Amino acid sequence: MQTDRIWQAALGELKLQMTKATFDTWLANTHLTAADGNAFTIAVPNAFTRDWLENRLLTTIKRILVGIAGCPVEVHFVVRQDSPQVVTAEPAAGPQPITLSTLPELHPELAEGSLVEADHVSIVAVQFYEFDPMKRGFLQMPKYCEWFWQPYFGVVTYATYRFLRSLDRQNEGWGGWHFVKVERIAATLGVNRQKITGVQREKDGRKYWQPGAFDALSQAAIARVETLGKGKKVSYKVSCLNSLPLLTPAQVETLPGILQEEHARFLKECSIEYEEWKQLELSTLVQE
């Protein structure tokens, strides 16, 4: 396939993965200007668009191009020579709606590697179609996880997540792997270890698995749990996602009605595009 047709095919795939407004803002006016082997040079209207694509969408673009071309690729963005310089106007007074194109950069407090306690603030990735916390911006939304993720998971599972999260000093993306003592987690939470690991039970002569917190976190794709050994010698190696995304409409529907109303109010008060969020059909914004 010719390189220009590869880029057009990639644009078609990207258009399906985001809102029309986002595509029109960042990708509609891009053009392939050069291709040297597997290296694509993409012309963009201005430096702001170039920086936004490099910082927030490059990984996705490369992944799509690899899928189409069938080989590793490199992508470079350049500003078209005939493009006028962009003049940034003074922002209008009052809060502006937060959309994919207006996400803030990573908060300065996090850039220094400091650990932000979730008791004071939760770092929630505000991103609708691709969850890439290493590239995307973050919005500090106090108590979001405690108010909505905790009732979604239940107290024990959410408290287990918080414990695992505390083992890592990363503030974004996936944390490192840690060997954990289930007995320590259980003692910290005041529950038996089976609430953490799950347990096999039997009823009416039939065995079944009663899931624990590890199962729930793994199913939600916010923790990876490896079981090593068997019986009394079993040990667990765990890595967890350090920043949680917004809940999806499907997830929020499982909450009590009063919390669904509070969630809708919360998004609107944070100037997040509520109608755009409501149109999401994904089961989760976490991508493995």
pTM of the model: 0.55
84 falls within a domain: no
148 falls within a domain: yes
Supply the pLDDT for residue 152: 94
| Same domain (yes/no): 33, 146 | no
198 falls within a domain: yes
Higher pLDDT, 104 or 36: 36
93 falls within a domain: no
Higher pLDDT, 137 or 275: 275
Supply the pLDDT for residue 139: 52
Supply the pLDDT for residue 17: 76
pLDDT tens-digit map of 131-168: 333 333 445 555 788 899 999 999 999 999 999 988 88
CA distance 33 to 52: 19
268 falls within a domain: yes
Supply the pLDDT for residue 225: 92
Number of Cβ atoms within 10 Å of the Cβ of 60 = 19
- Would you say residue 109 has pLDDT above 50? no
| Same domain (yes/no): 192, 135 | yes
206 falls within a domain: yes
What is the average pLDDT across 30-47? 85
The tokens for 202 are: 């039997």
| Same domain (yes/no): 135, 268 | yes
Q: Which of 104-118, 145-159, 200-214 has the lowest mean pLDDT?
A: 104-118
| Same domain (yes/no): 20, 149 | no
| Same domain (yes/no): 226, 194 | yes
Report the mean per-residue pLDDT for the chain.
76
What percent of the chain lies above the pLDDT cut of 70? 76
Q: Where does residue 190 fall: left (phi above 0), alpha (psi -120 to 50 degrees), or beta otherwise?
A: left
CA distance 141 to 139: 6
Domain end marker among 25, 47, 79: 79
- Between the two ends of the chain, the Cα-to-Cα distance in Å is 30
Supply the pLDDT for residue 58: 86
What is the average pLDDT across 56-80? 85
90 falls within a domain: no
Higher pLDDT, 17 or 241: 241
| Same domain (yes/no): 110, 211 | yes
**Burial of 129: CB neighbours in 10 Å, binned 0-12, 13-18, 19+:** middle
- Would you say residue 75 has pLDDT above 70? yes
92 falls within a domain: no
pLDDT tens-digit map of 80-99: 875 444 333 334 444 444 33
Supply the pLDDT for residue 142: 56
| Total domains, the chain | 2
| Same domain (yes/no): 129, 176 | yes
| Same domain (yes/no): 54, 161 | no
Bridge partner residues of 44 (DSSP): 79
Domain end marker among 27, 48, 79: 79
Domain end marker among 79, 108, 127: 79
| Same domain (yes/no): 149, 196 | yes
pLDDT tens-digit map of 253-272: 999 999 999 999 888 877 77
What is the average pLDDT across 47-70? 83
Q: State the residue range of the domain holding 28.
A: 3-79
